[in-house]
Structure 1
Amino acid sequence: MYPLKIRNLFLASTIILAMGTVSAQDGLVNSLKINASEKSVESFKFTDVINLANTSIKNQGSSGTCWSYSTNSYLESEMIRLGKQPVEISQVFSARNAYVEKGKNYVRMHGAVTLGDGGELHDVINMYKKYGAVPQEVYSGLNYGTTKNKFAEMSGITEALLAAVVKNPNGELTPNWEKAYAAVIDSYLGEVPKNFSYKGKSYTPQSFAKEIVGINPDEYVEFASYSTEPYYKKTMMMVPDNWSFDLVYNIKMNEITSIIDNALKNGFTVAWASDVSEKSFSWKNGVAYVPTKKYDDMTKDEKENMFNGPKEELEITEEIRQKAFDNYQTTDDHAMHIVGIAKDQLGKEYYIVKNSWGTTNDYKGYLYVSKNFVKYKTTSFMVNKAGIPADISGKIGV
C-alpha cells in the first residue's frame, strides 16, 4: 500500500495476503521488540490521572481488523458511560458487513480502490447504523475450528473472486457475483443470524443494537488534521483504507489533544487511529514517544536505552506533522482505544491506550502514549460530539 514503508500486516492494510501461513500478529509483535528494554517497567513510574471504564482486552489474531476491535471497544465504553451493562459486541460482525460493502465498492470502482482487511473507525459506526450489532457469543467469526481470527486464506480467495468479476468476462455483470462473494465470506466467518436469543429474549441485529447497545450513531464525530486543507470543514480522509470515501472534520494539530483531553475529562473515551511503525513505539514495553533524534542518528547506547525511563521529546509542529504524512513516514497502520491519562515520574502526561493484541506486553494489553506522539502520528480519531470543546463545536457547527 505504501511503497516506501511496509505497513504492519494485521493492521489496517492488505499486506496480510502476502503472509501465507505466517502469523501476522507474531510478525508485528516480533518487529516491535527490536528496541524493547528489560528495564522499562522499573524505569517508568506511571500514575493514573484519569482512567475511564473499559471492557477486557481482546486479541484480533491474524486479521487486519484493529479498526473494528478498537471502535467496538469504544462503543462498549460508551455503554458503560450511559449506565448500561456492557456486552462484548461482535467485532467480526462489523468487519464481515464492511467486507461485503467494500466488495461492492471495489467492483463499482473497477478495482481501483483498496481491498483487504483494512478499515477505518467510521466503518464500525456505518455498519452499526446499517446492519445493527450482535454479541460476540452469537457471532464469533471462528467458523472452521480456529481459536483466533485467521483471515489470510479467506482474503486471498475473496480478492481473486473480485478480480475475476472486475475483468467482466461475460461483457455484463450478473447479480450472482454478490451472492458468490458473500457466500465465501460466510463460509469462513459464519452466516449472519437473522434472529438470535440473548439472555432469554429474541433479537434481530437491529433490535439488539437499539435495545441493548443503545448508542446513537449520529452522535459520533471523526477528526483528522491536514495543514493542506481548510480547517473546520469536512475533508476527505486521505488514506488508502478509507474505501468508503468518508469525510472527516479537519482541525489544527494542537486541537487533536485539546479535544481528546476535553473528552476524557468529561468521561468520554476516544477511538484513535495512528501510525505505529516508529521505532519509538514499543508494544513490549507499552510506551510510545517522539525522540529528539532520528533513530539512524542515535548512538548504539541511545538506541539500547530508548525505553529506559522518560526521555526529552521532539517538539512537533504542523509542518513536521504534514511532511511526515506526505512522505509516507506517517501511515495509516493501526487503531486503538484511548481510555485515560497518566503522568510519569517527571509529571509529563501520556494517554492510556487499550490495544487489541492480547495481554502479552508489560502493561497487560495497555500502552502509555505521549501527547507529542499523538499530535505527530494520529491519522484520525472519533469522539462523542458531547465530548468536543464548545469553541471547536462552534467552529465545525456540531
Structure 2
Amino acid sequence: MFRLKLKPLFAAVLIALAATSNVSAQDDLMNKVKANQSANSKDHFTFTDVINLENTSVKDQGSSGTCWSYSGNSFIESEMIRMGKKPVELAQIFTARNAYVEKGKMYVKMHGAVTLGEGGAFHDVMNMYKKYGTVPRSAYTGLQEGQTRNNFSEMSKMSESVLASVIKNDKLSENWIKAYTSVIDTYLGEAPTEFMYEGKKYTPKTFADQVVGVKAEDYVEISSLKEYPYYTKFTLLVPDNWSFDQVYNVKMDELVETVDNALKNGYTVAWAGDVSEKGFSWKNGVAFVPEIDFAQMTTDQKAEMFNGPKAEKKVTEDERQKAFDNYETTDDHGMHITGVAKDQNGKEYYIVKNSWGLSNDYKGYMYMTKEFMKYKATGIMLHKNAVPKAIAKKLAI
C-alpha cells in the first residue's frame, strides 16, 4: 500500500487530481503499432546473421515511457561485454528516477515551459550515469510489493500536480524539491545510497567506476537534419530533449555508414526514432519503408505488407527533413541495434533489441532495414571510437 510522505491535506488534493488514471504514451504507441501486421509473416522471411554482437536478455518496460532508459542501459551492458567485463543487469528505473528529479528541477526553472513526462533521451542515461552513478537491478527495481511490471500512470499524474502547484507560486518554498521527490520515491522507492553486490559494499558512484567501468564522456550522439550545417552540433528540438543537449550533424547516408562501421568493429548502437509508421510491425518484427504510400495500397497489399521482403522507397535528405518538420518523424521510441542480418534475397537489415518483452515473432528482437533506420532516426548514440575516422575528423571528435 502506498503512503505519501506529504501533509495530509496536500496529499488528499493530489490524490484527487490523480484519480483519473491516464494511459501511458508508451501504451498508446504500442496500441498503434499492434495493427501493423500480416498473417504468418515469419513463414515468408529467412534471416541469416551477418553480425550478432553479444547483449543481455530482453526486458519489458511495462506501462512506462522508459524505453530510452531500457535501451540506453542495454547499450551500457553491451559495452561492458565489449570491454571484456562481466555484464550486470543495470537498474533502468534508477536512471529514470534520477532523470525525473532533474527534469522536475528544469521544469520549475523554465516556469513549466518544457515537456514533463516519462520520456527521455540517450544523453539522459549518460548524464545520470555521470552524476549519480548506477546500481544493479538487484539493488533497485522501482517496483512496490506485489508489482511485477512498471506502471507509471498514477505517479506521473501526481508528480505533475505537484509541479503545477509549485510554478503558480510567486516565490518558491525551500521544500518543493523534497515534496516532488517524495512523490517519485513513494511509487518507485528511495534510491539506495549503499548496497551489497557479490559480497562487496558499493555506492552508485563506486559501482559505476569499479564494476561497470564505462566513461560517459566517451559517448556521442549523432543526428542528421539538412536545416543545420553538417559537421557541427545543434540542439535537437524534440520534446524529450528537456535538457537541451546538442548532437552532431552528419549527412543522412552517413548515419548508415556510422552504424555499419560500429557494428563491424564490435560496437553496438543506441537508436532513437519513430516507430509509429505503417512500415513498422512489432508483432512481425520487421520495419521497412514501403515503396508505395500506405494510402495508395490496395486492401490486399496492406494485408501482405510484412509477408516477405518488399521493395522499398529510396528516401532523400529533403524527405527526411520534411518528415521531421511536419511531425511524421517524432522521437517516440528508443531501441538497441546489436547486429546485421540478411534476408533470403541478400538484403541487409539491422538486428534491433526492443524493450517490449518477448511478445513478437522474434522474441523481443526486430529486423529493421537500413532505409528505415536512416529515415526515421531522430538520433543515435555510440562510442566515439566507433565513428568512421573520416567522419570523426570532420566532426572534430
Same topology, TM > 0.5: yes
Q: Specify the SS of the correspondent of 1:367.
A: strand
Q: Specify the SS of the correspondent of 2:257.
A: helix
The structural deviation recorded for 1:288 is: 0.2
The structural deviation recorded for 1:172 is: 1.2
1:162 counterpart residue number: 163
Q: Percent sequence identity over matched residues?
A: 63
Count of paired positions: 380
Aligned partners of 1:68 and 1:124 also within 8 Å: yes
Give the whole-Å Cα distance in 1 for the aligned partners of 2:160 and 2:310.
44
TM-score (norm 2): 0.94
2:283 counterpart residue number: 284
Give the whole-Å Cα distance in 1 for the aligned partners of 2:313 and 2:37.
20
Residue type at the aligned position of 2:227: T
1:267 counterpart residue number: 266
Residue type at the aligned position of 2:135: V
Give the whole-Å Cα distance in 2 for the aligned partners of 1:80 and 1:149.
27
Q: Specify the SS of the correspondent of 2:366.
A: strand
Q: For residues 236-258 of structure 1, what are the alpha-carbon distances to aligned partners after superposition, in whole Å with 9 as ceiling and x for unaligned?
A: 01111000000010111000000
Give the whole-Å Cα distance in 2 for the aligned partners of 1:19 and 1:313.
43
1:194 counterpart residue number: 193
Matched, 1:310 2:309: yes
Q: For residues 28-60 of structure 1, what are the alpha-carbon distances to aligned partners after superposition, in whole Å with 9 as ceiling and x for unaligned?
A: 444323231222101011110000000000000
Q: For residues 318-340 of structure 1, what are the alpha-carbon distances to aligned partners after superposition, in whole Å with 9 as ceiling and x for unaligned?
A: 00100000010001110000000
Aligned partners of 2:23 and 2:153 also within 8 Å: no
Matched, 1:49 2:40: no
Q: Specify the SS of the correspondent of 1:137.
A: helix
Give the whole-Å Cα distance in 2 for the aligned partners of 1:202 and 1:132.
14
Residue type at the aligned position of 2:118: D
The structural deviation recorded for 1:279 is: 1.0
1:119 counterpart residue number: 120
1:252 counterpart residue number: 251
Give the whole-Å Cα distance in 2 for the aligned partners of 1:335 and 1:116.
15
Residue type at the aligned position of 2:201: S
TM-score (norm 1): 0.93
Q: For residues 289-346 of structure 1, what are the alpha-carbon distances to aligned partners after superposition, in whole Å with 9 as ceiling and x for unaligned?
A: 0001111111001000000100000001000100000010001110000000001111
2:100 counterpart residue number: 99
- Structure 1: tracts of 5 or more residues without a match: 1-16
1:181 counterpart residue number: 180
> What is the aligned-residue RMSD (CA, Å)?
1.4
Give the whole-Å Cα distance in 2 for the aligned partners of 1:22 and 1:382.
29
Give the whole-Å Cα distance in 1 for the aligned partners of 2:36 and 2:216.
40
Residue type at the aligned position of 2:76: L
Give the whole-Å Cα distance in 2 for the aligned partners of 1:322 and 1:148.
37
Give the whole-Å Cα distance in 2 for the aligned partners of 1:333 and 1:84.
32
Are residues 19 and 242 of structure 1, via their aligned partners in 2, closer, same or farther at CA, if it must alter by over 3 Å? Answer: farther
- Structure 2: tracts of 5 or more residues without a match: 1-17
1:70 counterpart residue number: 71
Give the whole-Å Cα distance in 2 for the aligned partners of 1:19 and 1:346.
51
Q: Specify the SS of the correspondent of 1:118.
A: coil
Aligned partners of 2:24 and 2:65 also within 8 Å: no
Matched, 1:335 2:344: no
The structural deviation recorded for 1:199 is: 0.7
Give the whole-Å Cα distance in 1 for the aligned partners of 2:240 and 2:371.
24
Residue type at the aligned position of 1:74: F
The structural deviation recorded for 1:87 is: 0.5
